[in-house]
């Protein structure tokens, strides 16, 4: 009987020992999974922090290239186009930033103004454009439904020089026939016009009677930004409008780019609200 009890006790002890081992293995497995999860999370956070730091540094370097480009344009130590070699600021043999300057305008089509928002004026330099020569203004991209559903009216201000005097002619166009009954604007051409590879819904043409100086465009009514382009008459070009600066910063494996357009100073938007007196013989001017 005693031997039998001893055998049972031995089996119970072995069973309890096996259960304890199983519990220990389960606990170790859970701890291992938790440890791997925490380690993975820590590695992810460290990578994100490293990426954020490199991203901020590469942006700063790109802005450094932008500042250098602006300085050389302001100092007139470079002219557009200009593409100097990339620069290594730290001396580690790795490029830190690279920038290039290209010309805006100087061709038959100037389309870098789009899209334009309501009541936001844009200025186009016309110095050097021949007098009594048509300039074409096109707007509303025909394949952009939001634009075609909500086309802007357009106010055009043309500053030109006659002798020693500067004069202003204003033109107002509205493709919406309902609005025209109230504002008395003119109707633009609306047959569809291909300009610079884009098909525009509306187009008008104007010309300065003498030396043109600048053109200002102001979309009206529609809250939807509209696409615009200014194009020259056949055989002519829209004068150069400035320079585009594109700068790239490098830090680790992160690349950041910045882009800005450098132009001559423009008139304040208050210019479009100044009242002018005097006679006006051009029936299109407002």
Task: Report domain extents, the chain.
Answer: 107-238
pLDDT at 279: 40
The pLDDT of 251-260, averaged and rounded, is 90
Q: What is the pTM of this model?
A: 0.68
- Residue pair 123/101 in contact by the 8 Å Cβ criterion: no
- Residue pair 218/286 in contact by the 8 Å Cβ criterion: no
The pLDDT of 51-63, averaged and rounded, is 89
| pLDDT tens profile 166-198 | 999 999 999 999 999 999 999 999 888 899 899
Average pLDDT across the chain, whole number: 84
Burial per residue of 151-161, b for 16 or more beta-carbon CB atoms within 10 angstroms, e otherwise:
bbbbbbbbbbe
The token duo for 150 is 């909500």
Residue 234 has pLDDT above 90, yes or no: yes
| CATH no., domain 107-238 | 2.60.120
pLDDT at 93: 81
Spatial separation of the C-alpha atoms in residues 113 and 273, rounded to whole Å: 21
- Top-confidence residue, 163 or 1: 163
pLDDT at 280: 44
């Amino acid at each position: 009987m005693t031997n039998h009890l001893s055998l049972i006790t031995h089996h119970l002890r072995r069973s309890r020992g096996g259960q304890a081992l199983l519990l220990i293995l389960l606990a170790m497995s859970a701890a291992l999974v938790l440890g791997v999860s925490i380690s993975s999370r820590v590695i992810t956070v460290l990578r994100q922090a490293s990426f954020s730091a490199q991203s901020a540094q590469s942006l700063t370097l790109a802005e450094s290239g932008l500042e250098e480009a602006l300085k050389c344009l302001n100092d007139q130590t470079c002219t557009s186009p200009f593409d100097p070699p990339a620069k290594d600021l730290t001396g580690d043999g790795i490029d830190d930033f690279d920038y290039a300057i290209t010309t805006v305008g100087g061709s038959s089509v100037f389309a870098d103004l789009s899209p334009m928002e309501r009541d936001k004026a844009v200025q186009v330099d016309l110095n050097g454009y021949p007098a009594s020569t048509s300039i074409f203004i096109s707007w509303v991209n025909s394949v952009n439904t939001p634009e075609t559903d909500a086309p802007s009216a357009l106010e055009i201000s043309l500053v030109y020089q006659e002798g020693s005097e500067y004069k202003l002619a204003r033109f107002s166009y509205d493709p919406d026939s309902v609005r025209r009954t109230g504002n008395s604007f003119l109707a633009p051409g609306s047959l569809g016009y291909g300009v610079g590879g884009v098909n525009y819904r509306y187009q008008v043409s104007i010309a300065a009677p003498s030396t043109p100086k600048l053109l200002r465009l102001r979309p009206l009514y529609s809250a939807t930004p509209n696409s615009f382009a200014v194009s020259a008459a056949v055989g002519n070009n829209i004068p150069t409008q400035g320079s585009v600066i594109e700068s790239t910063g490098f830090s680790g494996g992160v690349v950041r780019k910045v882009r800005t357009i450098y132009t001559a100073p423009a008139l304040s938007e208050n210019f479009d609200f100044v009242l002018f007196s005097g006679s006006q013989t051009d029936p299109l001017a407002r």
